[in-house]
Amino acid sequence: MKTWTVYIVRCADDTLYTGIARDTARRVAQHNSNDLLAARYTRGRRPVVLVYQDVVATRSAALKREYRIKQMSRKEKEKLIKPVLRKVHPSRGY
């Protein structure tokens, strides 16, 4: 069974675009290409860079997750895509 991915790309103008795809690498390449398969929103904001992806089992689950992400504020989206960094304690080495 093929899975679906909810993804977020950061555009050249620092805006965020959320979408769903079965093949995220192909979809990001489409966003960065000059063909009509790129989303209208991203066509004028190239290049785009993949900054987040979440794999789900069904298209329905992907659409629901996409909707929830699109309802988030910019600050919430940035928190979602920000990598989790652990503080390193110098004396303990962790």
Q: What is the pLDDT of residue 86?
A: 53
Q: CA angle at residue 77 from 74 to 83, to 5 degrees?
A: 130
Q: Where are the domains of the chain?
A: 4-75
Q: Which fold has domain 4-75?
A: GIY-YIG endonuclease (3.40.1440)
Q: Is the pLDDT of residue 93 over 80?
A: no
> Percentage of the chain with pLDDT > 70?
87
Q: Is the dihedral of CA 37, 60, 25, 16 positive or negative?
A: positive
pLDDT digits (tens, 9 = 90+) for 53-71: 999 999 999 999 999 999 9
In whole numbers, what is the pLDDT of the chain averaged over residues? 89
Q: What is the pLDDT of residue 83?
A: 73
Question: Model-level pTM?
Answer: 0.84
Length of the chain: 94
* Rg of the chain, C-alpha, whole Å: 16
